[in-house]
Amino acid sequence: MDLLINVGLPLSLAIIMLSLGVGLEVADFRRVLGRKYPFAIGALCQVVLLPVAAFATVKLFGLPPEIAVGFMLLSFCPGGVTSNILSKLAKGDVALSVSLTAVISLLSVLTVPILAAWSVAHFMGENAPEVSISGLAIAMFLITTLPVAIGVTIRSFATGFANRIDVPLSRLATVLFVLIVIAALAGNWSIFVDNLGIMGAGLITLNVALLLIGLGLARAAKLSWTESKTISIETGIQNGTMGITLAALITGTESGFSPLALPSAVYGIMMYVVAIPFLIWFRNR
C-alpha cells in the first residue's frame, strides 16, 4: 500500500499531466489572448464558482469534516484530459476546452495549496494536520506543472514521437487511476460504507449543479451553444486523481489512503454516470 501511495499515486498524476502536455501546443496557450471573453467566463466558473458551489454543498448536506475537506479538494482541481475528451464527444469547442485545461492546470500550482490549507483548517479545526503551503506548491509543481511543460516541449520538438506516445500514456494513466480508486476505497471501506449515502447524494448534486451553473452562466454571457456546453463540461468535470494525490500530500502516507481522498475516488467513478445524460443532450441539440 505504501508503495502504491508513495510511488504509484504521484506517478499516475504525473503521467496524466504528461499526457495532457503531449496533446498541447504553444498555440493552445496563445489562443487564450485571442479568445479572452469565453476563456474569462470558463476561468471564473472553475476558479471561483466551483469552490463556492462545493462549499454550499458541504454545508447543505452537513458532511463530516474529513469528507467536507475532500469535497473542497476536489473542487480546487482543474478538468484534466477527461474534460477535453468529453468536450469532443459533446461536439463542443475542443480548442477552448484544451486552452482552459492547460492554463488552469498551470495556475493550480498557485491557487490549490492556499485554498487546500484554508479548507483543512476551516473544516477540521484542532484535528487539522499541519499543511505546508510552500511544500504543497513544490510537490504540485513537480507532479503537475513540470510534466505538462515536458509534454508541451516534446510536442514542439518531436511531434512524431508525441503522437506515438499520446494514446499509450493515456491508457496507462487510466489503468493506474482505476487501481488507485480501488485502493482508496478499500483502504477506507468502513468510512466509505458509513458515508456512501450522504456522500453520493452530495457528489451527484454538486456534479449536476456545476454542469448547469457552467451552462447557465455561459448562456447568460451570450456565448455560442458550442462554447456554452464546453464551459459546462469544464466546470463540471474535475481531475479526481489530483484530488486523491492532494489528500495524500496533506495527511502523509503512514496510515494508508486518507479519508480526505474518498470524495475524489467516488467521484472518479460517478462523474461518468452523471455526464452521460448531459453528453446525449449536448450532442443532439
User: What pLDDT, in 10s, does the model give residues 110-169?
Assistant: 899 999 999 999 999 888 888 888 988 898 888 888 888 898 899 888 888 888 888 888
Q: Quick one: DSSP state of residue 87?
A: H
**Nine-digit cell string for 283:** 450532442
Mean pLDDT of 7-30: 78
| Arithmetic mean of pLDDT, 245-261 | 77
pLDDT for residue 254: 57
Are 78 and 105 spatial neighbours (Cβ–Cβ below 8 Å)? yes
Alpha carbons 189 and 46: distance in angstroms, whole number? 31
Mean pLDDT of the chain: 86
**Residue 253: its pLDDT value, please?**
58
Three-state DSSP at 132 gives coil
Mean pLDDT of 257-278: 87
pLDDT of residue 255: 56
In Å, how far are 47, 50, 200, 209, 241 from 223, measured between CA atoms? Answer: 19, 19, 32, 19, 30
17 confidence band (pLDDT: 50, 70, 90): confident
In b/e form, how buried is each residue of 72-106, taking b as 16+ CB within 10 angstroms? bbbbbbbbbbbbbebbebbbbbbebbbbbbbbbbb
Confidence of residue 24 (pLDDT cuts 50, 70, 90): confident
pLDDT above 90 (res 70): yes
Are the CB atoms for 53 and 75 separated by under 8 Å? yes
Residue type for position 125: G
> Which 3-state string (H, E, C) describes 225-280?
HHHHHHHHHHHHCCCHHHHHHHHHHHHCCCCCCCHHHHHHHHHHHHHHHHHHHHHH
State yes or no: pLDDT of 28 exceeds 90: no
Q: Residue 61: pLDDT above 70?
A: yes
CATH of 2-284, one of 1.20.1530.20, 3.30.1330.90, 2.40.50.100, 1.20.1050.10: 1.20.1530.20
Cβ–Cβ < 8 Å for 181, 187: no
- 12 pLDDT exceeds 70? yes
List CB contacts of 215: < 8 A, sequence separation 6 or more: 228, 229, 231, 232
Q: What is the mean pLDDT of residues 23-37?
A: 76
pLDDT exceeds 70 at position 56: yes
Please report which residue ranges of 125-224 form alpha helices under DSSP H.
133-140, 146-157, 159-187, 189-220
Query: Are residues 35 and 52 in contact, defined by beta-carbon separation less than 8 angstroms?
Result: no
Per-residue confidence band for 3, with pLDDT thresholds at 50, 70 and 90: low
Rounded CA separation 103/39 (Å): 10
Q: How far apart are CA 72 and CA 93, in angstroms?
A: 28
d(CA 241, CA 246): 9
pLDDT tens for 190-248 read: 877 877 788 899 999 999 999 999 999 999 999 999 999 999 999 999 888 888 888 88
* pLDDT of residue 1 exceeding 60: no
